[in-house]
Amino acid sequence: MKVLFPESISKRKAPVNITESDIKLFSHEYEKKIHATSLTELKNVYVLNNTIFNLKSLQFYNKHSLVHPIKKKQLIKNLLLLSKKGKSIRSAVWIIDENAYGYFHWLTDCLCRLVAVQNHIKDHVIILPSHLKNIKFIEESLPYFNIKAEYYDVTLPVKVKRLLLPSHTAPSGNYNTILVNKLREQFIGQNSNQPAKNIYISRQNAEKRKITNEEAVITLLKQYHFEVHFFENYSFNEQVNLMKDTKCLIGLHGAGLTNMLFMSEKTNVLELRNAEDNHNNCYFSLASDLNLNYYYQINSGDRKDTHEVNITVDILLLKQNIERMLL
């Protein structure tokens, strides 16, 4: 095992518009220990469903391929795959876990692992289970790294002669500051554009987590020349290019805010948050690590669960926050 990036402390800036009553929502995230990122190089190992197994040493590498513990019954099922005939891959890199299908997790968890081992990649492919094959943002993001994916059937074993196995780079929702900035550079390079667009991400077409008074929100936003966008209608490349030109981004807590990853330093993000939520701070932390100006607005919702809530935005407060952000 080789340490690629040592343990570090991520120090986050407080939100630009923080109030004394809301400090409790963020203060526990102001300083986070980020574990070291390491690389394990393996030879002649097997990919068995969602696990990696070394037959010679009889060792699984579950902490690299999974976030949550796997049950012994599933491990046995995976081992039984060795009785079947599968394919062989010469050189591969493993960067995923069970959350890889999600936009936020693919970009901030999986691709940060890829960035960590870039200097070690030669003729390697990324090995991915076949159920990820039809996810467009995965397919469209890989050309930025000049690497191809090799998809495999999870019902068959895959023997990998040489496997690069980077560790997770940080607990999900946290980031290795060096790596997440390298990731941004991978997508937008040294952006010479002067970002000028004001963008609002609408979740109008989403199944859940909506704004009940979005019509009034959009009416206000248009007074300040904000464009309304539905990211689900865009290709990955279109989202990258739009964000490169964005000066101010406003959105409800959700995967669309991950696109701040493609914004230049010192641009602005306003997250519309659920009241009393001091747990879901992944976008606050991301904005800070990317050196963006992070604003927030607390809103009343119809439930406590941030992942299910529908919120009502205080229009007057939003007006004040927009004007402060646009100063």
Q: Quick check: 38 and 166 in contact, CB under 8 A?
A: yes
pLDDT band at 236 (very low <50, low <70, confident <90, very high): very high
pLDDT band at 197 (very low <50, low <70, confident <90, very high): very high
Match 């109008």 to its residue by tokens. 204
pLDDT in the model for residue 306: 85
Burial degree of 80 (CB within 10 A; 0-12, 13-18, 19+)? exposed
> Is the model's pLDDT at 276 over the cut of 80?
no
pLDDT in the model for residue 121: 96
Domains and CATH numbers, the chain: 13-33+191-325 (3.40.50), 36-169 (no CATH)
Query: Span 71-89, mean pLDDT?
Result: 96
309 vs 300: CA distance, rounded Å = 9
> Mind listing the pLDDT tens digit for each residue in 134-193?
999 999 999 999 999 999 999 999 999 999 999 999 999 999 999 999 999 999 997 767
Q: How far is CA 194 from CA 177, 185, 287, in A?
A: 24, 16, 19
Q: Which residues pair with 37 in a beta bridge?
A: 5
Q: Quick one: tokens of 24?
A: 């409790």
Strand ranges (E), 94-156: 125-129, 149-152
Cβ neighbour number for residue 11 with a 10 Å cutoff: 11
pLDDT band at 208 (very low <50, low <70, confident <90, very high): confident
Query: Span 266-293, mean pLDDT?
Result: 94
> Mind listing the pLDDT tens digit for each residue in 17-34?
999 999 999 999 999 999
174 vs 68: CA distance, rounded Å = 17
pLDDT in the model for residue 307: 83
Instruction: Tell me the percentage of the chain whose pLDDT exceeds 70.
Output: 100
